[in-house]
């Protein structure tokens, strides 16, 4: 499993926020793959399939036959003096049929194995999403706490201005209300953070999270991508391999149906006791079924149709996944552009604007509404940056799930 996540910090304003140290992404994915409850069921499915393959190698049992003739009749055949007793054994030769049956059963295990790989990919991707959600809530909490701190500082400053008569009491009241709103925002994010942590822990069967924070930061740069190369990598996705495995199962079942329609010889051999002459003799025989060799042609035709259906479904699924990769890659490129604009231009400009507005407010040049608007603009820009980075990393997770490439490999192959 190659799902990975870029978790380093690399932007100026966000470096002031702590990078959490706790549960790492790799630890979360490994625990999910080792302990996910649904994955455990596939080990039993494989065990069952292997047992069925072993059972398919068991041929029909030989038949022991005892036959008594010419007894309890009339005339010369009265009594048992003329009896003929035959003890024999019968074999049905099915070596070719058994081989085909075993092959069909063994190929069936490949379908289960491929389905398990699909589920592993889903589990890893879901774990990555929940991990990312927890990380996003952590960073939203940082911004919310920072907003509370700014609101507290603003309230102290405004009260000081009120005490000397520079601003009206109404500004202090508005600042008090703003502080309470910011505290409520912290409480809301706290609830969301707890939910995301529980969802993440449930991936490996924990009802209560056994970890505190998750390790990483959304401020990690989004890697460059090559859309054409990513679309070409879709062919290795196990979702497509499932269809290929089913094609092979159908092919093995076709071979089995043809073998079963062939001639299956039955051999008889034994020893006969002749009471009338007090002697023994050997007996042997062979049975050959009659009828046409193509008596399973309708079954073969049905299996061939199934095989063609799997091939058509695989082609349709491949096109669908390639399109998904293209769409997500375009969204990723857009997110990179937006994040860069927010990081380099918008957030620094709003930081300067807030500093200037705060200074002007203290001088009585700006109203409280202008100060509150400047504070809100900066907070919203920082939240927009986090949301943009969050969407970008979600797209990376989906792209990796569709292509099977690690995010590191995606980045390294684009210069």
Tell me the per-residue pLDDT of 279-296, one tens digit each, with 9 for 90 and over: 777 776 666 666 666 667
Our measurement of the distance from residue 240's CA atom to the centroid of its chain's CA atoms, rounded to an integer in Å, reads: 13
What's the token pair of residue 171? 């500004």
Structure confidence at residue 35 as a pLDDT band (50, 70, 90): confident
> Is the distance from CB of 50 to CB of 259 less than 8 angstroms?
no
Is it the case that residue 16 has pLDDT exceeding 50? no
Counting beta carbons within 10 angstroms of the beta carbon of residue 405, is it exposed (0 to 12), middle (13 to 18) or buried (19 or more)?
buried
Q: Could you tell me which residues are beta bridge partners of residue 281?
A: 272
What percentage of the chain reaches a pLDDT higher than 70? Answer: 73
Is it the case that residue 13 has pLDDT exceeding 60? no
Please provide the average confidence, as pLDDT, over all residues in the chain: 78
End-to-end, the C-alpha distance of the chain in Å comes to: 25
What distances in angstroms separate CA 254 from CA 92, 265, 296, one per listed residue? 22, 21, 9
What tens digit of pLDDT does each residue of 259-284 get?
666 656 566 777 777 766 677 777 76
Q: Which residue has the higher pLDDT, 411 or 93?
A: 93
Average pLDDT over residues 69-74: 63
Residue among 26, 29, 53, 27 at smallest CA distance from 39: 29
Where do the DSSP E strands lie in 151-204? Answer: none
- Report helix angle 297-341 to 238-261, nearest 10: 180
pTM of the prediction?
0.72
Between the ranges 197-201, 325-329, 398-402, where is the mean pLDDT highest? 197-201
What b/e string do you get for 91-109 counting C-beta neighbours within 10 Å, with b at 16 or more?
eeebeebbebbbbbbbbbb
Domains of the chain with CATH codes: 13-412 (1.20.1600.10)
Write out the H or E segment, with its range, that includes residue 284. Answer: strand 279-287
- Report helix angle 368-403 to 297-341, nearest 10: 150
CA distance 256 to 63: 24
Residue among 321, 301, 303, 300 at smallest CA distance from 248: 303
What percentage of the chain reaches a pLDDT higher than 90? Answer: 25
Is it the case that residue 89 has pLDDT exceeding 80? no
Structure confidence at residue 247 as a pLDDT band (50, 70, 90): confident
CA distance 415 to 413: 6
pLDDT of residue 231: 79
Q: Could you tell me which residues are beta bridge partners of residue 91?
A: 267
Q: What are the counts of helices (DSSP H) followed by strands (DSSP E) for the chain?
A: 10, 4
Average pLDDT over residues 72-77: 58
Angle CA(94)–CA(295)–CA(92) in degrees, nearest 5? 20
What tens digit of pLDDT does each residue of 183-226 get?
999 999 999 999 999 999 999 988 888 888 888 888 877 777 77
Is it the case that residue 5 has pLDDT exceeding 80? no
Structure confidence at residue 42 as a pLDDT band (50, 70, 90): confident
What's the token pair of residue 188? 């809301």
Q: In what order do the strands lie in the sheet with 279-287?
A: 63-69, 84-92, 266-274, 279-287
């Amino acid at each position: 499993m190659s799902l990975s996540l870029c978790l380093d910090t690399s932007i100026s304003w966000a470096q002031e926020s702590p990078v959490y140290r706790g549960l790492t992404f790799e630890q979360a994915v490994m625990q999910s793959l080792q302990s996910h409850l649904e994955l455990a069921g596939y080990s039993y499915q494989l065990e069952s399939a292997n047992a069925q393959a072993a059972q398919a190698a068991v041929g029909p049992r030989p038949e022991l036959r005892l036959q008594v003739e010419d007894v309890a009749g009339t005339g010369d055949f009265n009594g048992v003096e003329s009896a003929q007793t035959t003890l024999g054994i019968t074999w049905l030769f099915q070596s070719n049929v058994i081989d085909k049956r075993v092959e069909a059963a063994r190929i069936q295990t490949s379908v289960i194995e491929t389905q398990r790989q699909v589920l592993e990919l889903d589990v890893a991707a879901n774990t990555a999403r929940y991990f990312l959600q927890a990380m996003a809530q952590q960073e939203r909490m940082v911004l919310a706490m920072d907003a509370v701190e700014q609101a507290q500082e603003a309230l102290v400053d405004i009260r000081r201005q009120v005490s000397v008569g520079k601003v009206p009491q109404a500004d202090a009241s508005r600042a008090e209300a703003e502080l309470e709103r910011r505290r409520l925002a912290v409480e809301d994010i706290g609830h969301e953070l707890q939910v995301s942590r529980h969802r993440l822990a449930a991936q490996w069967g924990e009802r209560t999270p056994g970890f505190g924070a998750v390790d990483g930061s959304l401020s990690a740069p989004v890697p460059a991508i090559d859309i054409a190369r990513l679309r070409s990598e879709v062919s290795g996705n196990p979702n497509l391999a499932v269809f290929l495995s089913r094609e092979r199962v159908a092919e093995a079942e076709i071979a089995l149906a043809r073998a079963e329609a062939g001639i299956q010889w039955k051999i008889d051999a034994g020893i006969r006791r002749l009471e009338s002459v007090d002697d023994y003799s050997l007996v042997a025989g062979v049975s050959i079924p009659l009828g046409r060799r193509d008596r399973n042609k309708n079954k073969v035709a049905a299996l061939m149709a199934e095989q063609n259906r799997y091939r058509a479904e695989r082609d349709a699924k491949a096109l669908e996944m390639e399109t998904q990769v293209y769409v997500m890659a375009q969204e990723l490129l857009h997110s990179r552009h937006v994040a860069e604009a927010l990081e380099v231009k918008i957030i620094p400009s709003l930081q300067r604007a807030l500093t200037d507005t705060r200074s002007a407010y203290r001088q009585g040049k700006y109203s409280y509404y202008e100060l509150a608007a400047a504070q809100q603009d900066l907070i919203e820009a920082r939240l927009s940056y986090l949301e943009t980075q969050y969407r970008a990393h979600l797209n990376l997770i989906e792209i990796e799930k569709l292509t099977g490439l690690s995010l590191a490999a995606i980045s390294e192959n684009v210069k």
